């Protein structure tokens, strides 16, 4: 039984607490903390657990073997570093960190501590994504030619105004791409492999925020494949993120985690693949996402603590996704292609 603590008791923390409750045979929520103690108390009441006064108090509790870091993005690194120093295993919400120096510190502290780290990218755990990954690895799509995401979401001005950190460079670390688009970027890295270079255009067209609400990038993968990464939070009404993988022997297209096209040259055109259960989409409403991904990711994390294996979305994966995003931002700022 792994004892969990949750740091940060806002919107996403409920998904972690609910996932821990679903994994009751293997996990239990020991306690929570938040810089706003009343938020921690309310949250603890709702989930039948204890509110610690501070993060240090939570980390000092010997019953807490693992923590879920659910604070605003720019604060993840500080909590990861503290938790690693305390020897706790870590589930960190995406993004792992928001700049290169945070990434470097987080990586060295976690490696030195020898702990298990899982960076939330819950869509990797969908049955449909696993199916697509197997098809790519088995060569069923042939040579990958294009690997794209088109994320046309809607986040209202009220959404950005609902937290002082949202839409800020210093704490959100970026806009449509760093906050929402990172899920698609991670899936592209998982399915199409590492990125060699990016060339991007970034704009703030509609929302009153410091960071981009609309961005388009051209990508070259190390494999030689090409791609498009498009991320906006400013279109009405918002559509499921489309992920397209085209190879010289087959194409797979997904709306979020629903496979909508499965067109292979080989005999592997299974009719039922389209019917694989998918997670619900946050295209128009952030809280509309399904809890299943968090349940499966935390179950994988617990198994990895026990076996010493690497989580399906681990430290290196969380770092790579942010590195691609930072390169895209730099490209847009300097108006030139950037090699990773």
Ligand X SMILES: NC(=O)c1ccc[n+]([C@@H]2O[C@H](COP(=O)([O-])OP(=O)(O)OC[C@H]3O[C@@H](n4cnc5c(N)ncnc54)[C@H](O)[C@@H]3O)[C@@H](O)[C@H]2O)c1
Among 2, 4, 6, 9, binds ligand X (CB under 6 A): 9
Among 5, 8, 31, 311, binds ligand X (CB under 6 A): 8
Work out how close the CB of 308 gets to ligand X at its nearest, in angstroms, rounded to a whole number: 25
CA neighbours closer than 13 Å in the CB half-sphere of residue 256: 21
Work out how close the CB of 95 gets to ligand X at its nearest, in angstroms, rounded to a whole number: 7
Task: Give the x/- contact pattern for ligand X in 271-290, rule: CB under 6 A.
Answer: ---------------x--x-
Q: Does 98 bind ligand X (CB under 6 A)?
A: no
**Which lies closer to ligand X via its Cβ, residue 36 or residue 303?**
36
Q: Does 209 bind ligand X (CB under 6 A)?
A: no
- How does strand 250-255 pair with strand 242-247? antiparallel
Q: Does 188 bind ligand X (CB under 6 A)?
A: no
Length of the chain (residues):
340
**Which lies closer to ligand X via its Cβ, residue 254 or residue 338?**
254
Backbone angles phi, psi at 29, to 5 degrees: -85, 110
* Total interface residues for ligand X by CB under 6 A: 26
**19-24, long-range: CB < 8 A, 24+ apart:** 19/291, 19/294, 19/295, 19/297, 19/298, 20/68, 20/298, 21/47, 22/291, 22/295, 23/295, 23/298, 23/299, 23/302
Work out how close the CB of 113 gets to ligand X at its nearest, in angstroms, rounded to a whole number: 19
Q: Does 55 bind ligand X (CB under 6 A)?
A: yes
8 touches 37 (CB < 8 A):
no
CA dist., res. 86 & res. 67, Å (int) = 11
CA dist., res. 291 & res. 243, Å (int) = 21
Q: Does 179 bind ligand X (CB under 6 A)?
A: yes
Task: Give the x/- contact pattern for ligand X in 226-265, rule: CB under 6 A.
Answer: ----------------------------------------
CA dist., res. 187 & res. 133, Å (int) = 10
Among 142, 163, 193, 337, binds ligand X (CB under 6 A): 163
CA dist., res. 326 & res. 221, Å (int) = 16
**Of 29-37, 127-135, 195-203, 324-332, which part binds ligand X (CB under 6 A)?**
29-37
Alpha carbon of residue 8 to chain centroid: 17
Q: Is the dihedral of CA 69, 71, 72, 78 positive or negative?
A: negative
Among candidate residues 13, 9, 22, 93, the one with its CA nearest the CA of residue 52: 9
The closest residue (CB) to ligand X is: 10
Task: Give the x/- contact pattern for ligand X in 69-88, rule: CB under 6 A.
Answer: -xxxx-x-------------
Q: Does 193 bind ligand X (CB under 6 A)?
A: no
**Which lies closer to ligand X via its Cβ, residue 139 or residue 277?**
277
**Which lies closer to ligand X via its Cβ, residue 75 or residue 199?**
75
140 touches 249 (CB < 8 A):
yes
Radius of gyration, CA atoms only, the chain: 20
**Which lies closer to ligand X via its Cβ, residue 8 or residue 227?**
8
- Which residues lie near ligand X (CB under 6 A)? 7-13, 33-36, 39, 55, 70-73, 75, 93-94, 120, 122, 163, 179, 286, 289
């Amino acid at each position: 039984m792994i004892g969990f603590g949750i740091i940060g008791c806002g919107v996403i923390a409920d998904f972690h607490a609910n996932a821990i409750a679903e994994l009751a045979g293997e996990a239990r929520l020991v306690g929570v903390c938040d810089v706003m103690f009343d938020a921690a108390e309310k949250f603890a009441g709702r989930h039948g657990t204890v509110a610690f006064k501070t993060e240090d108090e939570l980390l000092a509790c010997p019953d807490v073997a693992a923590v879920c870091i659910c604070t605003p993005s720019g604060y993840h690194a500080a909590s990861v570093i503290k938790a690693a120093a305390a020897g706790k295993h870590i589930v960190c919400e995406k993004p792992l960190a928001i700049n290169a120096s945070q990434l470097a510190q987080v990586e060295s502290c976690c490696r030195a501590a020898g702990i298990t780290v899982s960076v939330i990218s819950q869509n990797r755990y969908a049955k449909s994504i696993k199916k697509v990954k197997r098809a790519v690895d088995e060569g069923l799509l042939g040579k990958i030619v294009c690997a794209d995401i088109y994320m046309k979401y809607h986040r209202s001005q009220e959404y950005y105004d609902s937290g002082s950190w949202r839409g800020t460079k210093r704490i959100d670390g970026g806009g449509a791409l760093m906050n929402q688009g990172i899920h698609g970027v991670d899936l592209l890295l998982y399915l199409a492999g590492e990125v060699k270079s990016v060339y991007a255009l970034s704009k703030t067209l509609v929302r009153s925020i410091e960071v981009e609400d609309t961005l388009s990038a051209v990508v070259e993968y190390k494999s030689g494949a090409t791609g498009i990464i498009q991320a906006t939070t400013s279109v009405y009404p918002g559509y499921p993120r489309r992920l397209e993988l085209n190879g010289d022997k087959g194409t797979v297209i997904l709306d979020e985690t629903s496979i909508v096209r499965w067109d292979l040259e080989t005999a592997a055109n299974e009719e039922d693949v389209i019917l694989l259960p998918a997670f619900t989409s946050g295209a128009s409403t952030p809280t509309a996402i399904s809890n299943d991904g968090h349940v499966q990711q935390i179950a994988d994390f617990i198994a990895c603590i026990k076996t010493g294996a690497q989580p399906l979305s681990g430290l290196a994966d969380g770092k790579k996704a942010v590195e691609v995003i930072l390169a895209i931002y730099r490209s847009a700022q300097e108006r030139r292609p950037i090699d990773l």
